[in-house]
Amino acid sequence: MNPMIRRAWPKAILFDLDDTLWPITPVILQAEQTLHAWLQEHAPRVAERFSIENLRQARLALLAKQPEFSLDLGELRRAGLKSAFEEAGEDLDKVELAMVNFFAARNAVVPFDDVVPGLLRLKSRVAIGSISNGNADLEAIGLSHHFKVSVAAHQLGHAKPDAAIFHEACRLLGVAPTDAVYVGDDVLLDVQGAQKAGLRAVWLNRSGSAAHLEHDVVPDAICSSFDELIDWLRREHGDV
């Protein structure tokens, strides 16, 4: 872009969390193994009756019957455990201890190498926030100090791609959607959702996928890393 016609810097940059700031699938798999090991020691009747896969399939069946659980996957897991404990004749008071164990492992994420340096550069220039459909705890993870606001679907009662969750984050930051950029890994939930809510949207495509072509989505930018994100911002708006 010609430097003479660069637009003003956005007032806020909002990020998705899982698979944008850290890989989540291996963490969830490990957390489920950690939980099942806990069940073997503290609720053996549940562990004997239900494998990890049995518990997963039961959650999917429960979600199909009660789709409102899609707003809070932690509550879905809790409900699934309660049902398993009841069926196995195990003490229901242990369910909350099991959830504490699971969430500790679920939040043992490792950010991609570019994330913390990138956040440090960006937050010196713009307000930083997060929007997530998941249950990541930024305080437990140790990244909460980088974010002025964090909006989660299970707290708000609206999930991406609903415009309401994007608008709530903008409201909390005191910026108009047109003055915000959203960055996420999911073409539909993140990119299309943010654009329909009036934000510009960057697809953080670390894998080299072509999903945007399949879904006919045109991101405002496609970046494979925070470095590329910052380069795009510099081209659009000037130096960080």
The CATH superfamily of 3-23+110-237 is HAD superfamily/HAD-like (3.40.50.1000)
pLDDT band at 1 (very low <50, low <70, confident <90, very high): very low
Identical fold between 3-23+110-237 and 26-106:
no
Map out the domains of the chain as residue ranges. Answer: 3-23+110-237, 26-106
Summarize pLDDT for 94-150 with one digit per residue, the tens: 999 999 999 999 999 999 999 999 999 999 999 999 999 999 999 999 999 999 999
CATH entry, 26-106, from 1.20.120.1600, 3.40.50.2020, 3.40.190.10, 3.40.50.970: 1.20.120.1600
Mean pLDDT of the chain: 95
Tokens representing 77 are 């897991």
Check residue 237 and give its pLDDT.
Answer: 86
Summarize pLDDT for 65-76 with one digit per residue, the tens: 999 999 999 999
Summarize pLDDT for 43-72 with one digit per residue, the tens: 999 999 999 999 999 999 999 999 999 999
pTM over 0.95: no
Q: Which own/partner contact pairs does 74-77 have at CB distance under 8 Å and 24+ positions apart?
A: 74/99, 74/103, 74/135, 74/154, 75/154, 77/102
Check residue 240 and give its pLDDT.
Answer: 60
Check residue 5 and give its pLDDT.
Answer: 60
Rounded to whole angstroms, the Cα distance separating 103 from 89 reads 24
Enumerate residues 6+ apart whose C-beta is below 8 A from 98.
35, 38, 39, 42, 43, 81
